[in-house]
Amino acid sequence: MSYADELAAAEKAGSLNRLSTKQLKLDPSDKIVGRYLGRELVTSVKKGLPDYFRYSFDLDDGPVNVLMSQAFDNHDGARLETGRVYSIEYIGMMKISGGRQFKEYAVFELPTKTTEIEENE
């Protein structure tokens, strides 16, 4: 069997394990659900722009990296715990006073069996 045949058989069986990290861009109403692997500080290449975090998650279909927003970095992102399972939905841009806007997210922690076991040990 050729490598191409092996690949086709593995794809058909659904037995491929994605190793490379997919980069996600969330649009309004998009949601991710998966285990939080951590965040990495990224230095902005444009002068005058703030540094930001790249968040890594293990989803059902493999590992992903997601960029959120500075508001998320400072609030919700700072409270995420490595190893926990989260559902994060991008709600959209919210307008506040003075014509300013920010990206709003709904973040929920899932009570998974793994999480419950870790807490009881």
pLDDT for position 117: 47
Average pLDDT, the chain: 88
pLDDT band for position 116 (cuts 50, 70, 90): low
Q: Which of 32, 56, 55, 54 is nearest to 108 (CA)?
A: 32
Domain boundaries along the sequence of the chain:
20-120
- At CB < 8 A and 24+ separation, what contacts does 99-108 make? 102/69, 102/71, 103/68, 103/69, 103/71, 103/72, 105/68, 105/69, 105/72, 105/76, 107/76, 107/80
pLDDT band for position 18 (cuts 50, 70, 90): confident
Chain segment 78-92, per-residue pLDDT in tens: 999 999 999 999 999
Dist. CA 54–CA 39, nearest whole Å: 5
Dist. CA 6–CA 9, nearest whole Å: 5
Q: Say which residue, 118 or 1, is predicted with more confidence.
A: 1
Chain segment 2-14, per-residue pLDDT in tens: 999 999 999 899 8
- Report the b/e string of 28-40 with b at 16+ CB within 10 A: eeeebebbbbebe
Residue 20 has pLDDT above 80, yes or no: no
CATH 2.30.30, applies to 20-120: no
Chain segment 39-69, per-residue pLDDT in tens: 999 988 888 888 899 999 999 988 999 999 9
Dist. CA 78–CA 91, nearest whole Å: 19
Instruction: Say if CB 57 and CB 32 are below 8 A apart.
Output: yes
The pTM of the full predicted model, rounded to 2 decimals, is: 0.75
pLDDT for position 118: 55
